[in-house]
């Protein structure tokens, strides 16, 4: 049986209260999570899902969602992540999940065996960061350990590029020689093509950051 402790990285000391782990949730679980919470009928952002669902579900035990799944015996939903997912929390959560699902289809990956590090599930949302430098180093180590990342751009000229933490994640990927791919939802891909055909330049958007 898979043990949560097998994929935990970080130090527990009197000044550092968070362990960054590389436990992820399966893509199949993400589908189920969307269905069980009727998220296909809402426009909830990742931030709203975290605040209204993730924190609510884990409030009594104050643990990460992956730990909650383990304690509930849903061990098949949790495993060592093979992809790190980076996206802005202002994105529509459903679009993020749909993009991940489509990528699995495109690559022929088994959704039950494809575990992704998705911050709202993998990180304990009730813990504070007492030592930011130590946290970032451990977080960086986790990204390096996973080794591959999916960066989700929603919209195609993304707010992701305007988020300091997302840019830090990119820095950690580059510094650690992590392979990463930029993913767009199908609808965004079509709009992006039209943007380029119409003379739009990505450089113009990036230069405004």
Q: Which residues pair with 85 in a beta bridge?
A: 150
Structure tokens at 69: 């799944």
HSE-up (13 A, CA, CB side) for residue 99: 25
- Give yes or no for residue 2 having a pLDDT over 60: no
Confidence of residue 207 (pLDDT cuts 50, 70, 90): low
- pLDDT for the residue numbered 40: 86
HSE-up (13 A, CA, CB side) for residue 67: 18
Q: What percent of the chain has pLDDT over 70?
A: 72
DSSP string over 78-142: EEE-SEEEE--TTSBHHHHHHHHHHHHHHHT--TTT-EEE-HHHHS-TT---S-HHHHHHHHHHH
- pLDDT for the residue numbered 9: 41
Question: 110-141 pLDDT, tens per residue?
Answer: 999 999 999 999 988 987 665 567 667 767 88
- For residues 154 and 95, the answer to whether their CB atoms sit within 8 Å is yes
- Residue 164: CB atoms within 10 A of its CB come to 7
- For residues 114 and 104, the answer to whether their CB atoms sit within 8 Å is yes
Question: 52-111 pLDDT, tens per residue?
Answer: 999 999 999 999 999 999 999 999 999 999 999 999 899 899 999 999 999 999 999 999
Confidence of residue 15 (pLDDT cuts 50, 70, 90): very low
Question: Among 50, 29, 26, 44, which Cα is nearest to 94's?
Answer: 44
pLDDT, greater one: 42 or 163: 42
- pLDDT for the residue numbered 41: 80
Structure tokens at 185: 């939802």
Written in H, E and C, the secondary structure of 17-76 is: CCCEECEEEEHHHHHHHHHHCCHHHCCCEHHHHHHHHHHHHHCCCCCCHHHHHHHCCCHH
Question: 20-37 pLDDT, tens per residue?
Answer: 578 999 999 999 999 999
Question: 185-199 pLDDT, tens per residue?
Answer: 877 766 666 666 666
- Give yes or no for residue 146 having a pLDDT over 90: yes
């Amino acid at each position: 049986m898979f043990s949560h402790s097998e994929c935990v990285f970080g130090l527990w000391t009197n000044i550092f209260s968070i362990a960054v782990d590389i436990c992820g949730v399966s893509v199949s679980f993400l589908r189920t999570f969307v269905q069980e919470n009727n998220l296909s009928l809402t426009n909830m952002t990742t931030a709203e899902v975290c605040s209204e669902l993730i924190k609510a579900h884990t409030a009594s035990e104050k643990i990460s969602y992956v730990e909650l799944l383990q304690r509930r015996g849903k061990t098949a939903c949790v495993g060592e992540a093979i992809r790190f997912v980076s996206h802005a929390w202002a994105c529509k959560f459903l679009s993020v999940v749909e993009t991940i699902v489509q990528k699995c289809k495109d690559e022929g990956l088994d959704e039950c065996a494809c575990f992704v590090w998705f911050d709202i599930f993998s990180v304990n949302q009730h813990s504070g960061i007492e030592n930011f430098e130590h946290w970032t180093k451990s977080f960086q180590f986790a990204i390096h350990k996973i080794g591959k990342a999916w960066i989700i751009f929603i919209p195609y000229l993304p707010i992701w590029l305007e988020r300091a933490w997302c840019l830090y994640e990119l820095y950690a990927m580059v510094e650690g020689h992590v392979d990463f791919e930029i993913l767009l939802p199908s609808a965004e891909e079509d709009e992006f093509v039209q943007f380029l055909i119409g003379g739009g330049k990505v450089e113009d958007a990036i230069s405004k950051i």
